[in-house]
Structure formats: structure tokens, C-alpha cells
Amino acid sequence: MKTAIIILSDPKSGTEEALGRVFNGLATAYDLKSAGKEVSILFQGTGTRWPEALQHEDHPAHELFETVADKIQGISCACADVFGADTSGYDLIKDNSVPKTTGLPSLSNLQDQGFSILVF
């Protein structure tokens, strides 16, 4: 079984809901990784802002983020453009060439590769 975890929540909202969504997405990745299952994490939409925020050692989800960092597939290129995310050190995913954008992740391709998709 393969699972793709899409993180959409916005760290700039400053809400417990946004933190809860990213934490649960990362915790799900940790659970799947620990069970030896294939898992990929993608940041899309305003979620493209999370990697920068999660790199701060004082962030409550930092340690969990570091534990699953090897499972990060990348960041949506077009979404990072729109939302001004710092993508340093991450692959930009743009295999869904939506017109007038720099491209987004293709969920269709992930499904074709046998991935179940979870959105947080």
C-alpha cells in the first residue's frame, strides 16, 4: 500500500486547526513510515508555507517534521509562486501543467502509481 499525504493547511492562519492538520498529516506519515509502508508528503496550496515554519526548532511539530523529512516528495511549484513560500532545499513538483501556472502535483499520476491520497 502506498499513501500520498497532501498538506494544505496554512501556517499563517495561526489557528489550532491549521497546526492540528499539519501535525496529524505528519503523524500519519510517521505511522506509515514506522510500519514500513511507502508514504510521500506533498505541500500544496497555502501548505507550501509549512516547511519553512517547521524548520524552526521551537515549533511544536519540528521534531516530528524532522522524523519524516525523508518522506517529503516536494512542494507544488505554482502554489509556492502564488503564496510566496520559501522552497529552498525542496523539489518543486509541477507534473500537472495547469494552464497559466508553473505547474502543480498531479494527483492523477499519484493514483496511477497506486497511491491512496489523504488531504490535511
pTM of the model: 0.96
Residue owning grid cell 507544488:
76
Query: What distance, in Å, lies between the first and last C-alpha atoms of the chain?
Result: 19
What was the pLDDT predicted at 96? 97
Residue 83 structural domain? 2-119
Q: Provide mean pLDDT across the span 48-72.
A: 98
What was the pLDDT predicted at 93? 98
Query: Which string of DSSP letters, residue by residue, matches the chain?
Result: -EEEEEE---GGG--HHHHHHHHHHHHHHHHHHHTT-EEEEEE-GGGGGHHHHHTSTTSTTHHHHHHHGGGEEEEEHHHHHHHT---TTSPEE--B--TTSS-B--HHHHHHTTEEEEE-
What was the pLDDT predicted at 4? 98
Q: Provide mean pLDDT across the span 89-104.
A: 96
Q: Provide mean pLDDT across the span 92-99.
A: 97
What was the pLDDT predicted at 92? 98
Q: Give 85's pLDDT tier (boundaries 50, 70, 90).
A: very high
What was the pLDDT predicted at 111? 98
Which of 102, 88, 105, 112 minimizes the C-alpha distance to 5?
105
What was the pLDDT predicted at 81? 97
Question: The CATH number of the domain where 109 resides is what?
Answer: 3.40.1260.10
User: Contact, 82 vs 43, CB < 8 A?
Assistant: no
- Name beta bridge partners: 72: 41
Question: How would you classify the pairing of strands 2-7 and 38-43?
Answer: parallel
Number of domains in the chain: 1
Q: Provide mean pLDDT across the span 111-116.
A: 98
